C-alpha cells in the first residue's frame, strides 16, 4: 500500500489492487494546491471546508461521512465517533476517526481529533499499524496530546498531519515540537511512502 500526502489532513491511500481512498479533501482557501484526484472511496471526518471539499475527488466514488462499519471494494472501514474539541463537541462539533484495512495494513486517520480518546474509543478503533496524526494544535490536539494519543494507539508507523507549513493559511504549530516531544522522526523528503512490514517510526512527508 502507498500513502500520499496532499497537505493538511488529506491523503490518498492506494492498495496493491489499485483501490484509491481519499481522506479529508480541502478547498483552495486552505492554501495548498488543490489537486484533481481519481478516487474510489472518499472519507470526510466532519463538514468543515478544510476537510470536506469532495469536488477534489474525480470518478464514481463512494463518500463515507458517518460512524459505523463499512466494506467498500473489499476495503474494511470503521468510523468512530469522537469530538473536535475537549468539551465533547460543544465548541467545534463532532469528528469521525476512520480506520481502514488495506492490504492487511490497518491505517487510522484521526481527522480533526480535539481530545485524547477515552478507553471505549480506543477499543473501538482497535489495533493500528499506521497512524495519521494531527499535531498542530489550535483546532486539534497539540504536540503533547498527540504524543499521548500515539502511545495509546501504539502504531508501528506515525505520519504527522495538520500542522503549519509555508502555504497553509491557518495559525498552527509546526511539526517540530511534536518531533521533539516524540523523540525524533525521519523527514523522507517526498510526498509518498510505501508501507512495508519493516517500516517503523515517525515519517514526515512533503506535500508536493
**Own/partner pairs for 175-180, CB < 8 Å, 24+ apart?**
175/135, 175/136, 175/204, 177/135, 177/143, 178/135, 178/143, 178/146, 178/147, 179/204, 180/143
The one-digit pLDDT tens for each residue of the chain (208 residues) are: 999 999 999 999 999 999 999 999 999 999 999 999 999 999 999 988 888 999 999 999 999 999 999 999 999 999 999 987 677 767 776 999 999 999 999 999 999 999 999 999 999 999 999 999 999 999 999 999 999 999 999 999 999 999 999 999 989 999 999 999 999 999 999 999 999 888 999 999 999 8
Please tell me the pTM assigned to this model: 0.96
pLDDT for position 89: 65
> What cell was used for 180?
521533539
pLDDT of residue 93: 64
Q: CATH number of the domain that 121 lies in?
A: 3.60.15.10
Three-state DSSP at 34 gives coil
pLDDT at 197: 83
pLDDT score recorded for residue 198: 85
Helix (H, G, I), strand (E, B) or coil at 141: coil
For 108, the domain range is: 2-204
CB 135 within 8 A of CB 118: no
As for how many domains the chain has, the answer is 1
Note the pLDDT of residue 47: 84
For residue 100, the model assigns a pLDDT of 98
pLDDT of residue 97: 98
Amino acid at each position: 500500500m502507498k500513502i500520499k500526502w496532499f497537505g493538511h489532513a488529506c491523503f490518498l491511500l492506494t492498495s496493491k489492487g489499485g483501490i484509491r481512498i481519499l481522506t479529508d479533501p480541502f478547498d483552495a482557501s486552505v492554501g495548498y494546491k488543490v489537486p484533481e484526484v481519481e478516487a474510489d472511496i472518499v472519507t470526510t471526518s466532519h463538514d468543515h471546508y478544510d476537510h470536506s471539499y469532495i469536488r477534489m475527488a474525480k470518478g464514481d466514488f463512494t463518500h463515507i461521512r458517518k460512524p459505523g462499519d463499512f466494506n467498500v471494494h473489499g476495503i474494511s472501514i470503521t468510523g468512530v465517533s469522537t469530538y473536535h474539541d475537549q468539551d465533547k463537541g460543544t465548541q467545534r462539533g463532532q469528528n469521525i476517526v476512520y480506520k481502514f484495512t488495506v492490504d492487511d495494513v490497518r491505517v487510522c486517520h484521526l481527522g480533526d481529533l480535539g481530545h485524547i480518546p477515552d478507553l471505549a474509543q480506543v477499543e473501538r478503533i482497535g489495533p493500528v499499524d499506521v497512524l495519521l496524526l494531527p499535531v498542530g494544535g489550535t483546532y486539534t490536539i497539540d504536540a503533547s496530546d498527540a504524543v499521548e494519543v500515539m502511545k495509546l494507539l501504539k502504531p508501528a508507523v506515525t505520519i504527522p498531519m495538520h500542522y503549519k507549513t509555508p502555504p497553509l493559511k491557518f495559525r498552527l504549530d509546526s511539526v517540530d515540537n511534536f518531533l521533539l516531544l516524540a523523540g525524533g522522526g525521519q523527514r523522507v523528503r517526498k510526498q509518498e511512502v510505501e508501507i512495508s512490514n519493516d517500516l517503523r517510526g515517525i515519517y514526515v512527508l512533503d506535500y508536493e
